[in-house]
């Protein structure tokens, strides 16, 4: 069946941003369709916040332009109607109920008429699955629920784009999962969702595409599967967990396999292109009987966490050739 030509929710055309003579974002080109969740990731200083501030019109562009639903945004143009922003800080009134908070936001958004406001607030509470908490004081809600109120506030005026800035920072795992499910249901309702996040495994699992920034440059804009395949194709990550921190002879035996220590003294990992069986048997043989301190060996496909470690170390993706130095 022929489909109508899709109008992109957001396009960034060669967007650059300078702070005085420091270039924080360089020639960003992305197209985001309604229904997509885009993960915006990168080390600190990558340009993620600059991208969002530029899109929201909080700072001017030095070059290029954005379009939202095919309409070109002008410097200084108010984009409140087009974009819903959920900031990191929860700006809610603790002594007011969930419904009262949203009513205040609806008034601030210029949503006129008592009846309309009531309906819009009800719809937003419904969308974020908090109807049963509408009369609860915000101070009595959990961190995850407060985030959902913030999401409700950002979607009440039906924007084309929803920006979630670290929505899951500091919330527990069930609340995190429920916020990610909420992001997906909002995308499915036809909005484009930009998710700025440090939750890399989650980003890999839930985002349709990832925008990887470093030093203001775009390192990748593609599906998580394509990015991982391009960078790690046949590589596997081998993780060894020891029952106690390895002694000097064990560390010596690990050397030829390029193991490096992980988050704890007992966890070590490396990348290999060899078959799993031959790698593990060669490694165990090298321990020469000292292998009773090995508690667990796991072999897995390298994930986004591994990729970002590489970006943090080198400023580029594992399979990208090094480029000329920047920003100087
Ligand atoms: P991220 O959000 O990815 O951590 P930012 O967009 O905040 O990165 O910052 C990108 C770069 O721009 C960093 O090097 C940062 O120091 C610099 N920067 C951010 N804001 C300003 C500012 N107001 N003035 C000068 N430099 C800034």
Q: What does the pLDDT look like over 257-288, one tens digit per residue?
A: 888 887 789 999 888 888 888 888 888 888 87
Tell me if 45 CB under 6 Å of ligand 1.
yes
* CA 50 to ligand 1 centroid distance, Å: 6
* CA 20 to ligand 1 centroid distance, Å: 12
* CA 327 to ligand 1 centroid distance, Å: 12
What is the rounded (10 degree) CA torsion for 218, 220, 221, 227? -170
Q: How far apart are CA 11 and CA 29, in angstroms?
A: 7
pLDDT for the residue 216: 97
Decide if pLDDT at 4 tops 70: no
pLDDT more than 90, % of the chain: 60
* CA 19 to ligand 1 centroid distance, Å: 8
Q: What does the pLDDT look like over 85-119, one tens digit per residue?
A: 998 877 899 999 999 999 999 998 888 888 889 99
pLDDT for the residue 102: 96
Decide if pLDDT at 328 tops 70: no
Tell me if 148 CB under 6 Å of ligand 1.
no
Structure tokens at 79: 């984009």
Tell me if 49 CB under 6 Å of ligand 1.
yes
Q: How far apart are CA 31 and CA 12, in angstroms?
A: 7
Beta strand pairing call for 260-261 and 267-272? antiparallel
Tell me if 24 CB under 6 Å of ligand 1.
yes
The single residue listed with the structure tokens 């081998």 is 238
Tell me if 42 CB under 6 Å of ligand 1.
yes
Q: What average pLDDT score do residues 248-252 get?
A: 88
Cα separation values, 171 from 138, 143, 204, Å: 16, 6, 19
Tell me if 94 CB under 6 Å of ligand 1.
no
Q: Which residues contact 267 (CB under 8 A, 6 or more apart)?
A: 239, 240, 241, 242, 261
Task: Count Cβ atoms below 10 Å from residue 168 Cβ, excluding itself.
Answer: 23
pTM (two decimals): 0.86
* CA 31 to ligand 1 centroid distance, Å: 23
209, 199 contact by CB (below 8 A): no
Task: Count Cβ atoms below 10 Å from residue 189 Cβ, excluding itself.
Answer: 13
* CA 234 to ligand 1 centroid distance, Å: 36
* CA 212 to ligand 1 centroid distance, Å: 16
Q: What average pLDDT score do residues 283-307 get?
A: 83
Helices (H), ranges, the chain: 48-56, 98-108, 114-127, 143-155, 173-188, 200-206, 224-232, 248-254, 276-286, 304-314
pLDDT for the residue 249: 86
Structure tokens at 236: 């596997």
Decide if pLDDT at 204 tops 80: yes
Residue to probe by mutation, ligand 1, list 50, 53, 87, 213, most atoms within 8 Å of CB: 50
Structure tokens at 205: 């699992």
C-alpha 260 chain-centroid distance: 26
What is the rounded (10 degree) CA torsion for 225, 53, 84, 307? 20
Q: How far apart are CA 43 and CA 212, in angstroms?
A: 9
Q: What does the pLDDT look like over 162-189, one tens digit per residue?
A: 999 998 888 889 899 999 999 999 999 9
| Closest residue CA from atom 16 of ligand 1 | 45
Reduced to 3 states (helix: H, G, I; strand: E, B; else coil), residue 31 is strand
């Amino acid at each position: 069946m022929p489909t109508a030509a899709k109008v992109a929710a957001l396009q960034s055309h060669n967007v650059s941003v300078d702070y005085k003579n420091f270039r924080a974002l360089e020639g960003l080109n992305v197209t985001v369709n309604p229904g997509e969740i885009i993960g915006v990731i990168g080390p600190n200083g990558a340009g993620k916040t600059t991208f969002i501030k530029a899109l929201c019109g909080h700072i001017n562009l030095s070059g290029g332009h954005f379009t939202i639903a095919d309409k070109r945004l002008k410097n200084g143009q108010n984009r409140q109607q087009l974009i819903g922003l959920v900031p990191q800080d929860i700006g809610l009134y603790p002594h007011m109920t969930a419904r009262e908070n949203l009513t205040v936001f609806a008034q601030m958004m210029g949503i006129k008429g008592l009846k309309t406001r009531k309906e819009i607030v009800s719809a937003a509470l419904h969308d974020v699955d908090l109807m049963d908490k509408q009369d609860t004081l915000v101070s009595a809600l959990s961190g995850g629920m407060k985030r959902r109120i913030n999401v409700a506030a950002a979607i009440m005026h039906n924007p084309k784009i929803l920006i979630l800035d670290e929505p899951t920072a500091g919330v527990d795992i069930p609340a995190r999962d429920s916020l990610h499910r909420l992001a997906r249901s909002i995308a499915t309702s036809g909005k484009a969702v930009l998710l700025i996040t440090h939750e890399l495994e989650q980003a890999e699992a839930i985002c349709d595409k990832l925008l990887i920034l470093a030093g203001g440059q775009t390192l990748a804009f593609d599906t998580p599967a394509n990015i991982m395949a391009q960078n790690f194709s046949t590589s596997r990550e081998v993780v060894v967990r020891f029952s106690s921190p390895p002694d000097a002879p064990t560390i010596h035996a690990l050397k030829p396999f390029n193991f490096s220590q992980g988050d704890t003294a007992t966890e070590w990992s490396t990348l290999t292109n060899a078959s799993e069986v031959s790698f593990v048997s060669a490694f165990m043989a090298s321990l020469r009987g000292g292998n009773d301190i090995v508690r667990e060996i796991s072999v897995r496909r390298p994930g986004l966490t591994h990729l970002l470690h590489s970006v943090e170390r080198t400023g580029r993706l594992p399979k990208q050739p090094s480029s000329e130095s920047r920003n100087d």
